[in-house]
Amino acid sequence: MGDRLTSGTEGTGGTGAVHGAGRAPGDPPPRPVARTGAFMTAMVVDAVGSGVWITFSLLYFTYGQGMALTTAGSALSTGALAALLAGGLAVGVITDRMGPFPAATLSCALRAAGFPCYLLADTPVTVAATAFAISFGDRLYWAAHAGLVDSVTATQQAQRGLFALMNSLRNVGLGVGALAVALGASFQDAGGAALWHAVPVANAVSFAVAGVMFRWVGRPLRQAPVPGKDAGEGEGASYRAVLANRRFLAFTGATLSITLSSVAFDSVLPVYLRSLGMPLWMPPVAYVLSCVAIPAFQPLALWLGRRHRPMRLMALAAVLVAVALASLVPLGRFDRAGGTVCVALAVVVFSLGEAVFGAVAMTIVLSFATRQDAGRYSALYQLAWGLSGALGPGVHTLLLSASGSAPWTVMACALLVGAAVYLRLARTTPYASVPQPCAGDPAGRKGEP
């Protein structure tokens, strides 16, 4: 990827400018191959490092710091919720004012400084304070994420490839985190707390390296002057215009059904399986299967992305996840062998839906935005994930206490409503024809069509 990635184009029909080849004269010139490699390395480090910590954090405080599980969980949730309330929208403003690369650099710096503090955090207050700093850095990165990808891609097809690759790497990170937990538990007696402490230290170093790379790649390059109109748009960027975009709000609201379902799959599925008397090994195996299946389905998701409109693919993703969750409702009627097969099929269908969703969702967000307000659009969209992570476990456990099938039934219905919204948006969205790639177009990187 020695230049901005190209491999065809497709309009998603948002209200903002469609990003891709033939953009405004102010586009940056091609980046050197070395900078492209540094950019990809930084993105990989962030995706894997964040994924590892998601699966590792609770057990780190339980086994590495000797805290009670409920205490550690409450402290981490408090810090993350505070960061969501304080920075959920503020990170969009910061990103639009600083630019995506400086914002990503700052996000890495916050996390590089925060992770070593976990070694000294042994009270709920210190854990919550450190979690706040790291969560704020994480939210800042995701506000900049769309702008980072947009700055190195020339078409929406290339964007899909890069977003799908990052989604796959994040799931690989989740799998690595699960492996780290298993190794930590296995060698705890031999390695003591040092083995548990190694993960936050390694994360701190990796985020420091990623920050340096983002800083280097994002250094100002000589480019053509941007027309005065663009400068005016930058000065006038505000959340008022974002909140007035009803189509984007409808898209984000529908996406909340997918993000809540993803949280349900991660948080209450193990409890549900245990309540049905399923084997103890089934929840971790199901989780690992999902982490493997999502990257495996990436080529299929990209193939679908070349042939179907993005909003219709979002509807497909919602329906697939709905089918997967609905198939868990009659699970109690099967014996262990039948239940194992049913869970495996549900995980595979769920993973395909997640792969399709991960390949197209952020390209749609970018199609609504311009370069001047991409951070605000990304930040508002990411609130769907933030709210799901903060409120989802409580909502799902409340439903589960009412009935074992309630979480899956409710979420399946919500997903079907979301799919209907996507289809409605697809019918009312202007659609650009898809030109064939030119013979001279450069080939995409691994993970891209």
Structure tokens at 14: 């948002």
The Cα 333–Cα 342 span in angstroms is 11
**DSSP annotation string for 31-48:** PPHHHHHHHHHHHHHHHH
Is the Cβ–Cβ distance between 5 and 33 less than 8 Å?
Answer: no
Under the phi-then-psi rule, with left for phi > 0, alpha for psi from -120 to 50, and beta for the rest, what region is 277?
Answer: left
Identify the pLDDT of residue 254: 95
Identify the pLDDT of residue 302: 84
Identify the pLDDT of residue 186: 61
Identify the pLDDT of residue 402: 86
Identify the pLDDT of residue 19: 42
Return per-residue pLDDT of the chain as tens, 449 residues. Answer: 333 343 333 333 343 433 433 344 444 444 444 566 777 788 777 777 776 777 677 777 877 777 887 788 788 888 888 998 888 889 999 998 988 899 999 999 999 999 999 888 888 899 899 989 998 998 999 888 888 887 777 666 777 777 777 767 766 766 666 666 666 656 655 555 677 788 888 889 989 999 998 988 887 644 434 333 343 344 557 888 889 999 999 999 999 999 999 888 877 888 888 888 888 788 778 878 888 888 889 889 888 888 888 999 999 999 999 999 999 999 988 888 899 999 999 999 999 999 999 888 988 988 898 878 888 998 999 888 888 877 787 788 888 888 889 999 999 999 999 999 999 999 886 544 333 333 333 222 222 22
Is-above-0.85 flag for pTM?
A: no
- Pick from 346, 441, 429: which is nearest to 11 by CA? 429
The Cα 146–Cα 366 span in angstroms is 7
The Cα 339–Cα 321 span in angstroms is 18
Bridge partners of residue 153, in order along the sequence: 5
Is the Cβ–Cβ distance between 361 and 387 less than 8 Å?
Answer: no
